[in-house]
Each structure stands twice: as C-alpha cells, then as structure tokens.
Amino acid sequence: YNNIQLKELKSQYLRTAATMQLASLFISLLMVINIQNITDIIVFIKPGYEAIKYLIPILLIGQTTEIFTGLNMEVIGLSKYYRFNFWSSLIMLVVIFSLNFFLIKKMGIYGAAWATTSGLIIYAFIKALYIKRKLKIWAFQRKTLQLLLIGAISFLVVWWIPEIYNSLVDLVLRSLFFSLIFLGMAFKLKISPELNEILINIITKRKLF
C-alpha cells in the first residue's frame, strides 16, 4: 500500500483470505461435529460444564465470520483510513454492550454469547464493506462459495455417521473422516495455494515446509 502496489496488495489479500477462510471453516465445523464428544470429555473431567454444548457453536459463528472476511483491520491500519479501526471497534463495543443488556435478561449466558457473536458479525462486515468501498478489495470470491459447499458436504456426511459409545474414539474417527473429506476436496479444487503446498510437501517430502 505504501508503495502504491495495489494490485499486489489485492493479490496477497485474496490469497491470505482464502487460507483464513479454509482454516476457520475447517476448525469450526470440526468442533461442531464433535461438540457432543467435546462436552462429554470436559464434563467427565469437570462436571458442570454441560452448557458448552450450545455456547461453543454460538460463539464460533461470530469468530468464524470475523476471520472469514479477511485481514481487513490490518489492511485498514496500514492505509490512510486507519482511524476507521477505532470507530468500527467502538461500534462493536456499543452493539455488544447494548445486546448484552437485553439478551442476558431473557436468555442468560446464551444471551451473552449471542450478543458477542452479533457484535463480531456486525464488526466484521462493517470493515469488509468499508475496505471494499475504499480500496476495491473484497474477500469473497468464487472459491468462497466452493469452500462453503465443501464444508456443507463434509459436515453432512460425517454428521450422519453412527455414534460410537466411547467419546474419545468417536472424536478421533469422526475428525479423521471429516479431515479426509474436507481437505481432500479443498486440495482437488485448489481452494488455497498454501494448503496445496503444505499437503504436497507432506506427501512428497514428509515435512510441512
């Protein structure tokens, strides 16, 4: 940006966004399909945490959305529009505080989770729309739709696998099947160049880099 290399900036931004979208969706869906196993294991270690079965998916929506929209805060911070980061963060805090005030009364701890998630979603799209308007950069592309389709297919296939009595064994097997389906399709469609490079290195050189 400082060298007025906007084409290179856009290229790097889209490349990074694709990797972030893939990683965030993969981890989020992996946690959701294993949410019962995660809950069972944590409750076995420390009883009283049953609520995480619903809290984790709610919070994941906001976190995944914020990551999915790309490195907007970082790019804005490097530009002449850096002051916008302050105002967008302020808007997020106001939204979260206001929603907490109303939702906690009605929904308790789940209300707090929805308030945080709603604030993060609004915050994410405010930044994404602003950077699209000012720098003509948009994190969503055709590969984003392909990635969402991959996620939906992988999730549905693994979700319908019958549960195994042992939560730990079920978690390992479910995670393995999901990873093979999700990463296999993502590799085939070349969603993220970084992912393909890593997988090729693992297969051919037996190392990550």
75-89, 98-112, 172-186, 191-205: segment of lowest average pLDDT: 191-205
- pLDDT in the model for residue 1: 59
pLDDT at 194: 78
Give the pLDDT score at 80: 83
Helix (H, G, I), strand (E, B) or coil at 136: coil
The encoded tokens of residue 209 equal 């880099």
Average pLDDT over residues 75-94: 86
pLDDT of residue 48: 86
Per the CB < 8 A criterion, the answer to whether 3 and 136 are in contact is no
pLDDT at 145 over 80: yes
Q: Which of 10-19, 92-101, 135-144, 146-155 shows the highest mean pLDDT?
A: 146-155
The pLDDT-based confidence of 180 (bands split at 50, 70, 90) is very high
For all residues of the chain together, what is the average pLDDT?
Answer: 87
Q: Is the Cα torsion angle 142, 143, 144, 147 positive or negative in sign?
A: positive
Q: What is the pLDDT of residues 17-57, one digit of tens each?
A: 888 999 999 999 999 999 999 999 999 888 888 888 999 99
**What is the band of 4 on the pLDDT scale with cuts at 50, 70, 90?**
low
Torsion, Cα 45 50 51 54, to 10 degrees, reads 100
Answer for the pair 100, 112: CB distance below 8 angstroms, yes or no: yes
What is each CA distance from 183 to 64, 92, 116, in whole angstroms? Answer: 18, 33, 30
Q: How confident is the model at residue 3 (pLDDT cuts 50, 70, 90)?
A: low
For residues 170-175, average pLDDT: 93
| 150 pLDDT more than 60 | yes
Collapse the DSSP code of 9 into the 3-class scheme (helix H, G, I; strand E, B; otherwise coil) and give the result. helix
**Residue 192 confidence (pLDDT):** 84
87-104 pLDDT tens trace: 888 988 999 999 998 899
| Eight-state DSSP code of residue 163 | P
The closest alpha carbon to 29, from 78, 62, 64, belongs to 64
